[in-house]
Amino acid sequence: MTDTIVRAVGMARGDAPGVESAPETRRRGAPIRPDGIPVRVPVSVMERNRLIGGLKDQRILDAYSLLRTRVLHRVNQNRISTLGVTSPSPRDGKSLTATNLAISIAAGENQPVLLVDADVRRPSIAHLFGLHINAGLGDYLVDDADLDEMILQPPINGLYVIPGRAKSRLRPESLSSEKVARLIKRLKQRLPGALIIVDMPPALIGGDVVAFAPNLDATLLVVANRRTHEADMEKVMPLMEGVNVMGTVLNFADQAVSKNDYYGGR
């Protein structure tokens, strides 16, 4: 079993179904800036969707600060450049956790972060930022769309995002390990030195994680307080064989984080 990195990363909800949309700032044929296409994300959108860039609840901010510290310790210790985030089942809050972790690292450290929405069944990162997009990761994998036109830069210094698009023609079962390996290589070339955080599908939904996780340096497993059952964990762990599971994150915690709310560490 993995170490628990943090026991209370959010008293936040999981992926919010309703979001306020930011005005479209990305235009087809617009010039590509070397650091990504800038997009506007209103604070009201971040606040509504529990992104830490728009939150004032110090307990939640402290929880993600703690998660950032623990993750970066292992990232630096083990020279990790690609980190996946998954969960046993849908609605465990993995996408929110991945997004807030990326924001926390980019905003709090001198470390560029590329957040990739690889949940091709139910992409949600664009919705969390309130963005309308014309293309997503699936369009690159299926139609060889221009990857540079998908790299967006929210108004958070050092943060880059490749969103997913629900209408992509990518079928999850066609997502091969070789295709994922080529993608990861391309991302490293495009943004050298960035920590790449990949929001993967839930582990128990299809075989998508089996294609992604072995191509990543490490993976975080997000579990939901009072929702993730022991039987789910028993099913998940065999799927993680051969995968470097960095640790587990407990979401939907009932209480605020204290200095004793995390333990373990290699």
Per-residue pLDDT tens over the stretch 116-131: 999 888 899 999 999 9
pLDDT at residue number 163: 94
Q: How far is CA 70 from CA 58, 67, 103, 110, 160, in A?
A: 18, 5, 15, 16, 22
Residue 123 lies in a domain: yes
Residue 29 lies in a domain: no
Residue 262 lies in a domain: no
Residue 148 lies in a domain: yes
Tell me the three-class secondary structure of 131-198, residue by residue.
CCCCCCHHHHHHHCCCHHHHCEECCCCCEEEECCCCCCCCCHHHCCHHHHHHHHHHHHHHCCCCEEEE
Query: Cβ contacts of residue 203 below 8 Å, gap of 6+?
Result: 86, 87, 88, 209, 221, 236, 239, 240
Amino acid occupying residue 124: S
Structural domain count of the chain: 1
pLDDT at residue number 86: 93
Residue 138 lies in a domain: yes
Residue 72 lies in a domain: yes
pLDDT in tens, 222-241: 998 877 888 888 888 888 88
Instruction: Note down the domain range covering 148.
Output: 4-13+37-251
pLDDT at residue number 234: 87
CATH of the domain at 52: 3.40.50.300
* Parts of the chain with a pLDDT under 70: 1-35, 168-174, 253-266
Residue 25 lies in a domain: no
pLDDT at residue number 87: 92
Residue 264 lies in a domain: no
pLDDT at residue number 24: 36
Whole-angstrom distance, CA of residue 50 vs CA of residue 47: 5
